[in-house]
């Protein structure tokens, strides 16, 4: 009997019967929250925050991909909510048609959606931490383990997830309210069966979309340089809106995919007509989904490209460097002499050869400085003492590099790497100043010389006589030595590692500095009674973190020991690599989940179409072909667009760095292409699995 069958019990029974759709909704929310929690937990963890340099490109890249993933997840949860309510609407409409007032429906409906959305979101947030921990642990176990990789969480990360949780719950409530306030009950009942066709655009839509993507990419990438160089202003935050055409273009490309497809059906207009029509009539949802997939894939590629981009150049450089050991130090530091180092090496059964030693001095160099006119605009002004410059004489340069160079008196030459892709000293140095005696020499730029091992420390070469003049009265604090040597035998990692630690231990506290700390700028600021902008940098680096990535990459006297650099490269860069690999996994996983969910929705929504086809005598092979066509469009187009757009953007960034593509960058691009092929393989495997699952669900 049904005497005790109350509204509440009925709603519970209906919810139970509706669990298939609820599960999909739960799954979508759970995945979105888990991914965002995991991403933000790792991104904001002290582990990553300490290793990724503040204001650095890698950090910006990480944040940009996070925003992309967040947008993807937000759209995805909104889609899941809309999908859930489309199914729920017929139930709601029937109850309204049978006389249930809004007042009667509100408690049950809101209870259900609040429970579903909050439980799935909370479960997602809770799962995010073990998820990131397991993946990180996996990295440490199977790929690389370093002291830097000790994972800790900052609970601040939870705020992002909580904001998304509120968005998920809020959007579900908004949807519920939207359905309940409708006055046309028939619309509510029929909602599930109402198609969402997209506007018919002409065939120019897709090609124009591609043009917009490229134009937006170029515009967005070039706008900051235009602002800086032409308008002489710092680019405002809204400058990122120049990327908007990329998104419009993406929408148009996906719209074209859904409305027209990319094949020419002129000869056989009925070919794939069922798959094409099914897509077209669920156009809005499909287009949204395809955009999310393309964005996530682009984000994932952007992340994973970091690995070959930074790895190829560095490993190539280590292999080519002419000295096994190369380092510099300040003359006032107590560093081992040649004999002592030879003795140190002998303990490891090693002997040294090609011992090379030279001197350099550090002077104040003139340069153009940005003088702020207002909060954003500046003008360029020449300052005779702007910052540190390391000076080599012609003689010292020849001694170290083995190459003679002729620098005319009153001029200087910048030291760059072979490919001239390194950041060299300024070409606008007009004066060189001895910081002890303040003796000054007027100078001008006379070209570049090439020596990779000296390229990263702003060295310039001057005439021997000029060097002598400028060195007069200079204390050891401003003088330095450069040493390079090779090992006769097969080099030993143990020696390199011990020597590195011994080398660091030989420095006193005054050298506990990052390489971009500028002693000249500090001195000038103090003399003017101003506060030095880089004061905070003094606390950035510590000798006790000698094995951290930050120390090895940022120390002002970081040496270049080939075997150490090669062997420890993965360790030194581990947090960077693992973070970006993690982001890649997360983005790819999310994109694949969206693809899978979208295809499952197609199967659920179009079940009746396949039933009708069966009744009309369609063979299993024909129906399978239609299923494949549907999945093909969902998987293929956004994946291809996401991957190719990011590949082109990446190539553009590499070119934009120095106006050319150098050997290491060609290797990077090749490696990235390899990665894209691997991604394609994974996507294909998931596509096959999805088709199989759809086949099962549709009973083909």
Partner 1 sequence: MLYVKNLKKSYEVGKAKYEVLKGIDFHVAQGEFVAVMGPSGSGKTTLLNCISCYIPFDEGSITLGGTKLAGQSEEMLAKIRNTQIGFVFQDFMLLDGLSIRENILVPRIVQEEVGEDAEKLADSLVSLFGIGHIMNKYPAEISGGEKQRAAVARSLINNPLIILADEPTGNLDSKSSRAVIEAFGNAKDKMHATIFMVTHDSFAASFCDRVILLKDGAVYRQLERREERKNFQDVLLDAIKEMSE
**Interface ranges with partner 1 (CB under 8 A):** 1-7, 10, 13-18, 90-91, 94-104, 183-186, 189
Name the packing angle between helices 283-304 and 574-605 (round to 10°): 160
Closest CB to partner 1 among 103 and 490?
A: 103
What is the DSSP secondary structure assignment for residue 194, as one 8-state letter? -
Closest CB to partner 1 among 104 and 203?
A: 104
- Residue 16: strand, helix, or coil: helix
Instruction: Give which of 75, 121, 18, 49 is closest to 590, Cα–Cα.
Output: 75
Chain position carrying tokens 């065939």: 203
- Residue 445: strand, helix, or coil: strand
Structure tokens at 354: 């090609």
The 10 Å Cβ neighbour count of residue 340 is 11
What is the DSSP secondary structure assignment for residue 593, as one 8-state letter? H
Closest CB to partner 1 among 105 and 258?
A: 105
- How near is the Cβ of 163 to partner 1 at its closest, in Å? 34
Chain mean position to CA 513: 27
Closest CB to partner 1 among 96 and 541?
A: 96
Q: 217: buried, middle or exposed (CB in 10 Å: 19+, 13-18, 0-12)? A: buried
Closest CB to partner 1 among 21 and 137?
A: 21
Closest CB to partner 1 among 92 and 483?
A: 92
Q: Report the DSSP pairing between strands 444-450 and 459-462.
A: unpaired
- How near is the Cβ of 89 to partner 1 at its closest, in Å? 12
Q: 101: buried, middle or exposed (CB in 10 Å: 19+, 13-18, 0-12)? A: exposed
- How near is the Cβ of 175 to partner 1 at its closest, in Å? 19
- How near is the Cβ of 121 to partner 1 at its closest, in Å? 25
Taking the C-alpha atoms of residue 43 and residue 63, their distance in angstroms, rounded to an integer, is 8
- How near is the Cβ of 107 to partner 1 at its closest, in Å? 12
Closest CB to partner 1 among 104 and 263?
A: 104
Taking the C-alpha atoms of residue 275 and residue 344, their distance in angstroms, rounded to an integer, is 74
- How near is the Cβ of 610 to partner 1 at its closest, in Å? 18
Residues in the chain: 700
- Residue 468: strand, helix, or coil: helix
Structure tokens at 366: 């003139």
Instruction: Give which of 464, 434, 446 is closest to 361, Cα–Cα.
Output: 434
- How near is the Cβ of 116 to partner 1 at its closest, in Å? 16
Classify 63 in phi/psi space as left (phi over 0), alpha (psi -120 to 50) or beta: alpha
- Residue 269: strand, helix, or coil: coil
Closest CB to partner 1 among 28 and 95?
A: 95
Instruction: Give which of 552, 691, 694 is closest to 635, Cα–Cα.
Output: 691
- How near is the Cβ of 690 to partner 1 at its closest, in Å? 26
Closest CB to partner 1 among 94 and 624?
A: 94
Q: Do residues 201 and 259 touch, judged by C-beta distance below 8 A?
A: yes
Closest CB to partner 1 among 95 and 255?
A: 95
- How near is the Cβ of 286 to partner 1 at its closest, in Å? 23
Closest CB to partner 1 among 98 and 616?
A: 98
Closest CB to partner 1 among 16 and 528?
A: 16
Structure tokens at 640: 């291809």
- How near is the Cβ of 7 to partner 1 at its closest, in Å? 6
Chain position carrying tokens 């005439």: 463
- How near is the Cβ of 28 to partner 1 at its closest, in Å? 22
- How near is the Cβ of 103 to partner 1 at its closest, in Å? 6
Considering only CA atoms, give the Rg of the chain. Answer: 32
Structure tokens at 563: 């075997």
Structure tokens at 396: 């010292």
Closest CB to partner 1 among 1 and 141?
A: 1
Instruction: Give which of 155, 133, 120 is closest to 27, Cα–Cα.
Output: 120
Structure tokens at 126: 């809770």
């Amino acid at each position: 009997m049904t005497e005790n069958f109350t509204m509440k019990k009925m709603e519970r029974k209906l919810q139970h019967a509706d669990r298939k759709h609820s599960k999909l909704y739960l799954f979508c929310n759970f995945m979105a929250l888990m991914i965002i929690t995991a991403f933000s937990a790792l991104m904001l963890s002290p582990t990553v925050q300490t290793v990724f340099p503040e204001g650095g490109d890698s950090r910006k890249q990480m944040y940009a991909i996070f925003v992309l993933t967040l947008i993807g997840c937000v759209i995805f949860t909104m889609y899941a909510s809309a999908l859930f309510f489309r199914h729920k609407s017929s139930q709601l409409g029937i109850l309204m048609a049978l006389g249930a007032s809004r007042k009667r429906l509100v408690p049950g409906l809101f209870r259900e959606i609040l429970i579903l959305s909050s439980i799935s979101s909370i479960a997602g947030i809770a799962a995010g931490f073990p998820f990131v921990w397991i993946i990180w642990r996996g990295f440490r176990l199977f790929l690389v383990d370093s002291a830097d990789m000790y994972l800790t969480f900052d609970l601040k990360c939870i705020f992002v997830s909580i904001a998304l949780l509120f968005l998920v719950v809020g959007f579900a409530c908004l949807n519920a309210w939207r359905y309940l306030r409708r006055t046309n009950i028939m619309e509510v009942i029929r909602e599930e069966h109402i198609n969402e066709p997209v506007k018919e655009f002409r065939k120019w839509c897709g090609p124009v979309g591609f043009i917009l993507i490229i134009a937006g990419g170029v515009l967005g990438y070039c706008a900051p340089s235009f602002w800086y160089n032409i308008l002489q202003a710092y680019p405002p935050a809204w400058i990122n809106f120049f990327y908007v055409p990329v998104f419009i273009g993406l929408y148009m490309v996906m719209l074209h995919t859904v409305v027209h497809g990319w094949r020419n059906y002129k000869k056989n207009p009925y070919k794939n007509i069922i798959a094409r029509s099914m897509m077209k009539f669920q156009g809005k949802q499909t287009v949204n989904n395809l955009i999310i997939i393309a964005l996530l894939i682009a984000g994932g590629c952007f992340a994973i490209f970091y690995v070959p981009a930074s790895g190829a150049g560095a490993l190539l450089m280590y292999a080519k460097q002419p000295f096994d050991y190369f380092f510099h130090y300040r003359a006032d530091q107590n560093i081992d002499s040649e004999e002592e180092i030879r003795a140190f090496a002998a303990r490891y059964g090693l002997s040294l050869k090609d011992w090379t030693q030279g001197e350099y001095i550090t002077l104040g160099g003139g340069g153009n400085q940005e003088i702020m006119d207002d909060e954003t605009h500046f003008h360029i002004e020449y300052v005779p003492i702007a910052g540190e410059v390391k000076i080599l004489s012609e003689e010292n340069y020849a001694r170290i590099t083995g190459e003679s160079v002729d620098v005319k008196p009153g001029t200087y030459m910048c030291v760059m790497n072979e490919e001239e892709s390194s950041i060299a000293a300024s070409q606008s140095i007009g004066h060189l100043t001895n910081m002890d005696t303040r003796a000054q020499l007027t100078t001008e730029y006379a070209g570049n010389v090439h020596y990779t091992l000296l390229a990263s420390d702003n060295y310039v070469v001057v005439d021997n006589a000029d060097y002598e003049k400028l060195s007069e009265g200079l204390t050891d604090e401003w003088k330095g030595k450069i040493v390079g040597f090779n090992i006769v035998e097969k080099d030993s990692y143990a020696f390199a590692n011990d020597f590195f630690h011994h080398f660091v231990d030989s420095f006193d506290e005054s050298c506990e500095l990052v390489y971009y700390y500028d002693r000249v700028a500090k001195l000038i600021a103090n003399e003017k009674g101003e506060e030095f902008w880089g004061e905070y940098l003094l606390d950035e680096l510590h000798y006790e973190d000698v094995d951290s990535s930050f120390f090895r990459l940022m120390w002002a006297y970081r040496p270049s020991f080939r075997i150490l650099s090669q062997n420890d490269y993965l360790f030194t860069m581990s947090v960077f690599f693992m973070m970006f690999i993690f982001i890649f996994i997360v983005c790819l996983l999310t994109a694949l989940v969206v693809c899978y969910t979208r295809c499952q929705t197609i199967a659920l929504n179009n079940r009746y179409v396949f039933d009708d086809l069966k009744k009309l005598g369609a063979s299993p092979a024909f129906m399978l072909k239609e299923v494949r066509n549907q999945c093909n469009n969902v998987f293929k187009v956004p994946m291809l667009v996401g991957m190719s757009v990011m590949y082109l953007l990446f190539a553009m960034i590499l070119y934009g760095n120095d106006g050319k593509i150098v050997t290491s960058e060609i290797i990077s691009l090749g490696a990235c292409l390899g990665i894209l092929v691997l991604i394609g393989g994974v996507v294909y495997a998931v596509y096959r699995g999805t088709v199989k699952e759809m086949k099962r669900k549709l009973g083909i």
